[in-house]
Structure 1
Amino acid sequence: MAVTERVATALRGVSGILVTPFDGDDQPVPGRLAPIVDRAVGAGIGALTVNGNTSEFYGLTLEEARQMQAAVPGIVGGRAVVVAGVGRSVKEAASLAKAAKADGCDAIMIHQPPDPFRAPRGVAAYVERVAEAADGLPVLLYLRDDSGGLDAIAALCAVPGVAGVKWATPNLLNLAAARRAAPHLAWICGLAEPWAPPMTAMGARGFTSGIINVAPHLSMAVLNALAAGDYEAADRAVLAIENFEKLRAQEGNGANVSVVKAALALRGEDVGAARPPAAWPLAPAATEALRGVLAGWDKNAG
């Protein structure tokens, strides 16, 4: 299915990846996303993804992922495009994809299968089956590994229903080549704000973000600078979040979600712990550094 103008416009902006809130009994509580969604939408975030990596997708059961997918569109209330991440076994991914339209989602994002023995043509078959189950919803590919080669990526891009690619590998030359081979698709930076400037220069439009859960205005500053073609302003905007992103990269990137959730807790928004195998709780030094980052943002905002 072709992307509607509403979805296409949203994907050229910031694709915010929502956290999954848990209560004290380690149960998902989607309602705690309400202030996060309100803040993101108010800042201008046009697309919100449920069951992405910042959502701890691989730490959720299938039933929990479906619970979140079913709840988030109602919380968003049409104020932003909702993208549902789907993945794991082909049957689980197809099950989530099949339910996405009825749940009120506007598109699906297929996580790249993490199977160590995946074959390029097997991944294509996986995407075909999941895309067919999506019942006409636009399909975004989430590519974190381009080692299969450009021919394999081209085959994925040719699957009926595929409308865009979230490119989450730092290989800019492959991004440029893949985009040239399929210029009709939406090409999105999948490595968040720090990689948005170089990927924009190579033809991507829009980028993913986890920081939108905490400070969406900082993400929008990057987007607005890039939209204006002001790469120096974009560099300054990225620099403003550099220390936050460095904290997320600690412990082998295992603090990625943990820092976001800890920052929300420090702001008085309880979204619970990050589940294992994430790094939780944050190390004391990281927590203290995070306090400093948040204080700096508050000072600059004032």
Structure 2
Amino acid sequence: MDIQQLRGVIPPLVTPVDGQENVVETQLRNLIEYVLAGGVHGVFVLGSTGEFYGLDFDNQQRVVEITVDQVRGRVPVYVGASAITTRECVKLTRMAENLGAAAVSVLTPMFIQPTKAELYRHYETIAKSTGLPVLLYNNPDKTGVNLSADVVAKLADIDNIIGVKDSSGDMTLTAEMIRRTQGKAFRVIAGRDMLIFATLAYGGYGTVAATANVAPKLVVEIYEKFMAGDLEGARAAQFRLAPLRLAFSLGSFPVVTKDALNLIGVPAGDPIRPVEHCSEANLTQLRKILEQLGLARSV
């Protein structure tokens, strides 16, 4: 995969599962076609929105197999290779490479609190274990570990570490990542759906946005209008997206994305327990937001 392909809108796909919490192939294939029809520039499986932490290795492997087969090279397939230990991340990375992924995305370790030096060696080891491009993934709210601009700038010097998805929500940090990696073969993309326009304005290259599961055309509109120089149009699209992203508080992460997809007729199954579906009252609120976006009919 060429670094030029790391751009635009890359939805972190939910993983449709059945009552035994195994991937539902038909639903995953249907979701892939839905987002591709919305104009996205890549797909990302086994991320946090994809509930990677709740899937055993066999299901993770099956998700990658299905996705690579369904996409058929139309856009890059990014695969999450995230775990607590370096050893497990390397195992997942090799699995993704063997199955034809275009790149892997690796979240910071969770539960433990590695030093900056330990984080650097963690990512360096993963990158050296594969011929695939590696996308760093910073999400301190979920892991308790924050990638500093210092560590990112140093990791950017490793040939196949091509970028970072920053989900910190800290625009000062995102801007520093961009500033500190200028002139390197490295790209910063937004991981917070509310900050797509802001990240692009600072010099970012796109977004991994959970809302692009549900409203891919609207998220793509933010990116395409910005790239065309229509800044007001891009900002207006960002504002239209805001109610959907804010609705994520209506349920435990990441069930709202699945519930929204179910409401618009793109079956996404159930959340992995202990997470449960939104309450009826909150589903009613969510349905109204989807109706306002033209994604769901009034009932």
Same fold (TM over 0.5): yes
Moved more, 285-294 or 173-182: 173-182
Q: Secondary structure at the match of 1:269?
A: coil
Following superposition, the deviation at residue 109 of structure 1 comes to 0.6
Is 1:129 the equivalent of 2:128?
no
Measure the CA separation in 2 of the matches of 1:298 and 1:151. 43
> Structure 2 counterpart of 1:124, which letter?
Y
Q: Judge conservation of contact 1:84–1:105 (CA < 8 Å) in 2.
A: yes
The question of whether the paired residues in 2 share the 8 Å contact of 1:36 and 1:214 is answered with no
| CA deviations over 1:164-202 (Å, ceiling 9, x no partner) | 11122222233233223222201111112x201111121
Query: Residue 187 of structure 2 aligns with which residue?
Result: 186
The Cα shift of 1:297 comes to 2.3
Cα distance in 2 for partners of 1:262, 1:8 equals: 34
Point out the more displaced range, 14-23 or 52-61.
Answer: 52-61
Give the aligned partner of residue 271 of structure 1. 268
Greater alpha carbon shift after TM alignment, 50-59 vs 220-229: 220-229
Moved more, 241-250 or 15-24: 241-250
Amino acid at match of 1:177: E
1:236 aligns with 2:233: no
What is residue 161 of structure 1 aligned with on the other side?
160
Kept in 2: contact 1:40–1:213 (CA 8 A)? yes
- The one-letter code matched in structure 2 to 1:284 is E
Give the corresponding residue for 1:174.
Answer: 173
What is the aligned partner in structure 2 of residue 39 from structure 1? 34
TM-aligned CA deviation for residue 13 of structure 1: 0.7
Matched, 1:112 2:108: yes
Residue 13 of structure 2, aligned match among 4, 11, 18: 18
**What residue in structure 1 maps to residue 293 of structure 2?**
297
Q: What is the Cα deviation at residue 148 of structure 1?
A: 5.4
| Displacement after TM superposition at 1:163 (Å) | 0.8
CA distance in 2, matches of 1:208, 1:271: 19
Instruction: Output the amino acid matched with 2:269.
Output: G
CA distance in 2, matches of 1:43, 1:202: 25
- The TM-score normalised by the length of structure 1 is 0.88
* Paired position in structure 2 for 1:283: 279
Q: Does 1:85 align with 2:80?
A: yes
Structure 2 gap ranges (5+): none
Instruction: Find the counterpart in structure 1 of residue 249 from structure 2.
Output: 249
**Equivalent residues, number:** 290
- Rounded to whole Å, the distance in 2 between the matches of 1:181 and 1:298 is 40
The percent identity for this pair of structures is 27
Partner of 1:298: helix, strand, or coil? coil
Counterpart in the other structure of 2:196: 196
SS in 1 for 2:79: strand
- 1:51 alignment partner in structure 2: 46
Runs of 4+ aligned residues of structure 1 deviating over 4 Å after TM superposition are: none
Q: 1:39 to 1:159 in 2, by over 3 A?
A: same
Q: How much has 1:300 moved relative to structure 2?
A: 10
| TM-score normalised over the length of structure 2 | 0.89
Asked if 1:74 is matched to 2:74, the reply is: no
Deviations 1:90-135 (A, max 9, x none): 222111111222211101111111133211111111112211222x
Give the whole-Å Cα distance in 1 for the aligned partners of 2:295 and 2:267: 23
Residues of 1 paired with 2:75 and 2:146: CA distance? Answer: 33
Deviation at 1:277, TM superposition (A): 4.4
CA distance in 1, matches of 2:22, 2:168: 32
Equivalence for 2:94: 98
1:141 aligned to 125, 136, 139, which one?
Answer: 136
Cα RMSD (Å):
2.1
Q: Which runs of 5+ in 1 are unaligned?
A: none
Q: What code does the residue aligned with 2:35 have?
A: A
Deviations 1:60-98 (A, max 9, x none): 223322221222100111111100111112222111111
Range moving further from structure 2, 207-216 or 170-179: 170-179
How far apart, in 1, do the equivalents of 2:292 and 2:177 lie?
39
| Partner SS for 2:168 | coil
- CA-to-partner distance for each residue in 1:26-54, whole Å, 9 max, x for gaps? 21123312222112212211110010111
Worse-matched range after superposition: 196-205 or 260-269: 260-269
Query: 234, 255, 258: which is aligned to 1:258?
Result: 255
Q: Is the 8 A contact 1:95 1:133 kept in 2?
A: no
CA distance in 1, matches of 2:207, 2:292: 24
What is the rounded CA distance, in whole Å, between the counterparts of 2:41 and 2:67 in structure 1? 14
Q: Which amino acid aligns with 1:52?
A: G
Contact 2:264-2:296 at 8 Å conserved across structures: no
* Alpha-carbon distance in 1 for matches of 2:97, 2:137: 19
